[in-house]
Amino acid sequence: MSERLQQQIAFLVEIDRLKRVLRRTRLLDGSRYENSAEHSWYFAMAALVLSEYAREPIDLFRVVKMALVHDIVEVDAGDTFVFDEQARQSQHEREARAAERLFGLLPPEQAQEFRALWEEFIARQTPEAQFAAALDSLVSVLANAHTGGGSWRENGIPLERVLGFDQRIEQGAPLLWEFAKQLIEQTFEQMTEQMANSEWRMEGEAAAEPLEGEAPAKPF
């Protein structure tokens, strides 16, 4: 086996660990949390399906490569929840170290290409990176909307913060932002209704409980 092939195989073996990195979003059926490898695949599929909605003409193959590469650093750095401000303070440093080690396993020209794709995605300056960032957010919106609020509900994230973060979809795909914004708002309306109904039931159950020594109320 050549040294080049040894390096490439070593990289593939190492990034298999991405399948063990859990995210805060669930599968759309709600059965479990998704892992970062599943997210990257879903993101890449979204690029293939939705490329016509990019704000500007794009190199689709480059976007797909970004989707597959963008979270490889999480093998070392772990997933950083976008609404965890404390964790995000150290995110760039952790991920930069991970990029150096992980991409460094590859032959030099591939290491350089993968690192450049990752840095382009982070910078969000090119049409491809902006569209990729839009899709990265969109697939998380879909996951949360189809699981009753998902990570938004579980972590108490208010509507304003979700809209503020996910508005980056508009930069890369305005029509997808219109769809996503409506979906986010509908999901929060449903969450509010469910919470109100739950509180109403709890109050009703409490009112129906007899006081100590009091006979239970007779049904109508």
DSSP letters, 1-57, are --HHHHHHHHHHHHHGGGGG-EEEEEPTTSSSEEEHHHHHHHHHHHHHHHGGG-SS-
User: With 90 as the cut, is the pLDDT of residue 17 above it?
Assistant: yes
Burial of 148 (0-12, 13-18, 19+ CB in 10 A): middle
Q: What mean pLDDT do residues 51-68 have?
A: 99
User: With 80 as the cut, is the pLDDT of residue 217 above it?
Assistant: no
Q: What mean pLDDT do residues 116-145 have?
A: 98
pLDDT of residue 219: 32
Phi–psi pair at 11, nearest 5 degrees = -65, -45
Q: Among residues of the chain, what percentage have pLDDT more than 70?
A: 90
User: With 60 as the cut, is the pLDDT of residue 210 above it?
Assistant: no
Q: What mean pLDDT do residues 25-32 have?
A: 97
Q: Which one-letter amino acid corresponds to residue 134?
A: A
Architecture of domain 3-198: Orthogonal Bundle (1.10)
Burial of 76 (0-12, 13-18, 19+ CB in 10 A): middle
pLDDT of residue 204: 56
Q: What mean pLDDT do residues 94-107 have?
A: 98
Q: What mean pLDDT do residues 139-158 have?
A: 97
Please provide the distance, in angstroms rounded to a whole number, between the alpha carbons at the two ends of the chain. 83
User: With 50 as the cut, is the pLDDT of residue 216 above it?
Assistant: no
pLDDT of residue 177: 98
